[in-house]
Amino acid sequence: MSGVERVVIVGASVAGLHAADELRAQGYVGALTLVGDEPHLPYDRPPLSKAVPAGRLKVGHLQLPQVRELDVTWRLGVAAVGLDRAKRTLLLSDGAHVEFDRLLIATGVRARPWPNPTEAVLEGVKTLRTQEDAADLYTRLQARPRRVVVIGAGFIGSELASACRDIDIDVTLIERSRQPLGNALGESVGSAIAARQRRCGVDLRLKAAVKAIDDDGTGRVGQVRLADGDCIETDIVVTALGSQRNIEWLDGAGLVTDQAGIACDATMRVFTSDGVIDDAIYAAGDVVRWPHPVFRRKFIAVEHWGTAVAMARHAARGMLGSARVEWVPKAFDELPCFWSNQFGLNIKSMGVPRFADSIVVTQGSLEGRRCVIAYGRDGHTVGAVAINAPRELQGYESLIRRLAPFPPDLNVPDWDGQARPAPVPARFPAAGLATHEAPAMVVGPAPADPLAALGFPHSHRRRAIDKEPG
Ligand SMILES: Cc1cc2nc3c(=O)[nH]c(=O)nc-3n(C[C@H](O)[C@H](O)[C@H](O)COP(=O)(O)OP(=O)(O)OC[C@H]3O[C@@H](n4cnc5c(N)ncnc54)[C@H](O)[C@@H]3O)c2cc1C
């Protein structure tokens, strides 16, 4: 393939692996290098907060399948520490320089650490992002702790609380906002989740602030002290406070990066800080923000497994296609899609529920534990969530794609024969209030000024917009 003979992918996880697979599937025969700072071949993270801590799956069985011969040079246990765009060269932590014709950045996110560094290093205070984290947690749970305290009732915190209850371990789940999953699904839905969590035996503390994590006198965690004076004795504290994007290694590379993600155009090519697009550098997965065509080109950031896969494959096709003159770049317009299993509930989300101001239960009921909820903003359908009804969600895709009027006019089976309720406010917590983030968020500017929030000087904005396709 003319012009592209060396492709390098940084980040050896699900996005990196699927990009490599797509490159080979498209017939790319050149050199392919995958750089990953973890010592493992790509593995699956979703079971780390579900089946692994509950003992249903061992970390040794998490490796992601490689369905074809990838012929990859693996650089595992080695981090990328710098990028020289002018020389098209990557600097690695072992001192090596790797040249590329096309680069894919897929460095994902890491768990946000507990903000008090003295408390964060107490024996028994953990975060959950890697297979080592999950294996360690599993071992500790096997030792039957007095109680596990989970701080942050987002998806990962709630799933872990569920895994603890599955193996009959007492768990306290602490959330600063008014409901679990409030930032992801809104508090109107979160209140039904809270009732379910309590019914399953979780000691759920809402509107609760942690004052301190106390040492037991031997360097181990002994208790968690709440601002209301309550103390919870425990041997394990897992802080589930959301994530931070792995972008620091790109400092000085001249890309637009911050905690809202690496700014890309709609085809996943990166923006440079002088306001143009670098045709040789793409990004994919959790580390990215991009202007989503369905959401009127607002920039969104998504931490979803399926989106990472689809985006990586899209980027891989672009990396090869951009070497051909006849190539017409295509926008990545897949709808964000996410699932979670917890407390006997299968929760599946499509679109960007966090963007909504209103919800309406369109099928079933929250109390009946099987329902579909449509999410709307300013009279348009922007998302849908199915609880124990994953297949029903497919019917909502076209509504979200065309931002159909909200509440949606649906011809769907009425499971319980009840009159459909009227829309109610979605009630998302104010910015910064919840301990956790939404896994899909609008992080960018209004459509009228798509680069305003990226910090581009005015004179540079037009150039970057002009470079965007379609
Ligand atoms: C506990 C848990 C449960 C989850 N459950 C679900 C779920 O139920 N459903 C769902 O849709 N999603 C879920 N997710 C999210 C999903 O796993 C992510 O969306 C997905 O892993 C993103 O893939 P990625 O390749 O973009 O990034 P990551 O998986 O974060 O991988 C990035 C890789 O790059 C490496 N890296 C970082 N910096 C460098 C560097 N400088 N040099 C080299 N390598 C580097 C990282 O160490 C990592 O290996 C879950 C995530 C976690 C942690």
pLDDT tens string 347-371? 999 999 999 999 999 999 888 889 9
Q: Is the shortest distance between the CB of 11 and ligand 1 below 6 Å?
A: yes
> Would you state the pLDDT for residue 129?
98
Name the residue of 10, 13, 250 whose CB sits within 8 Å of the most ligand 1 atoms, as the mutation to test its pocket. Answer: 13
Q: Is the shortest distance between the CB of 305 and ligand 1 below 6 Å?
A: yes
> Would you state the pLDDT for residue 440?
85
Residue 411 confidence class, pLDDT cut points 50, 70, 90 = confident
Q: Is the shortest distance between the CB of 160 and ligand 1 below 6 Å?
A: no
What's the pLDDT tens digit per position in 67-124? Answer: 899 999 999 999 999 999 999 999 999 999 999 999 999 999 999 999 999 999 999 9
Q: Is the shortest distance between the CB of 444 and ligand 1 below 6 Å?
A: no
What's the pLDDT tens digit per position in 394-410? Answer: 999 999 999 999 999 88
* 52-68: average pLDDT: 95
Residue 143 has pLDDT above 50, yes or no: yes
CB atoms within 10 A of CB 406: 22
Structure-block tokens of residue 454: 């990226």
CB neighbour list of residue 107: distance below 8 Å, 6 or more residues apart: 10, 11, 80, 245, 246, 247, 249, 287
Name the residue of 246, 249, 288 whose CB sits within 8 Å of the most ligand 1 atoms, as the mutation to test its pocket. Answer: 246
> Would you state the pLDDT for residue 192?
96
> Would you state the pLDDT for residue 417?
65
Q: Is the shortest distance between the CB of 43 and ligand 1 below 6 Å?
A: no
Structure-block tokens of residue 85: 């765009």
245: CA distance to ligand 1 center in Å? Answer: 10
**Chain-wide mean pLDDT for the chain?**
91
Give 330: exposed, middle or buried? Use CB within 10 Å, 0-12, 13-18, 19+: middle
**Cβ atoms 362, 350 nearer than 8 A:** no
E strand intervals along 93-208? 97-99, 102-105, 109-111, 125-126, 148-151, 171-174, 203-205
How many residues does this entry show for the chain?
470
13: CA distance to ligand 1 center in Å? Answer: 6
Q: Is the shortest distance between the CB of 440 and ligand 1 below 6 Å?
A: no
**Cβ atoms 176, 207 nearer than 8 A:** yes
64: CA distance to ligand 1 center in Å? Answer: 12
What's the pLDDT tens digit per position in 270-294? Answer: 999 988 999 999 999 999 999 999 9
Q: Is the shortest distance between the CB of 79 and ligand 1 below 6 Å?
A: yes
* 433-457: average pLDDT: 60
**Cβ atoms 69, 57 nearer than 8 A:** no
Q: Is the shortest distance between the CB of 450 and ligand 1 below 6 Å?
A: no
94: CA distance to ligand 1 center in Å? Answer: 23
Ranking 61-70, 192-201, 324-333 by mean pLDDT, the lowest is 324-333
53: CA distance to ligand 1 center in Å? Answer: 18
> Would you state the pLDDT for residue 444?
66
Ranking 167-176, 396-405, 421-430, 438-447 by mean pLDDT, the lowest is 438-447
4: CA distance to ligand 1 center in Å? Answer: 27
Q: Is the shortest distance between the CB of 415 and ligand 1 below 6 Å?
A: no
Q: Is the shortest distance between the CB of 36 and ligand 1 below 6 Å?
A: yes
DSSP, collapsed to helix, strand or coil, labels residue 12 as coil
Residue 448 has pLDDT above 90, yes or no: no
Residue 447 has pLDDT above 80, yes or no: no
Residue 32 confidence class, pLDDT cut points 50, 70, 90 = very high
Q: Is the shortest distance between the CB of 51 and ligand 1 below 6 Å?
A: no
Q: Is the shortest distance between the CB of 25 and ligand 1 below 6 Å?
A: no
Index of the ligand 1 atom closest to the CA of residue 303: 19
CA distance 31 to 47: 32
Q: Is the shortest distance between the CB of 162 and ligand 1 below 6 Å?
A: no
Give 252: exposed, middle or buried? Use CB within 10 Å, 0-12, 13-18, 19+: exposed
Q: Percent of the chain, pLDDT > 70?
A: 92
> Would you state the pLDDT for residue 2?
56
Q: Is the shortest distance between the CB of 128 and ligand 1 below 6 Å?
A: yes
Residue 241 has pLDDT above 50, yes or no: yes
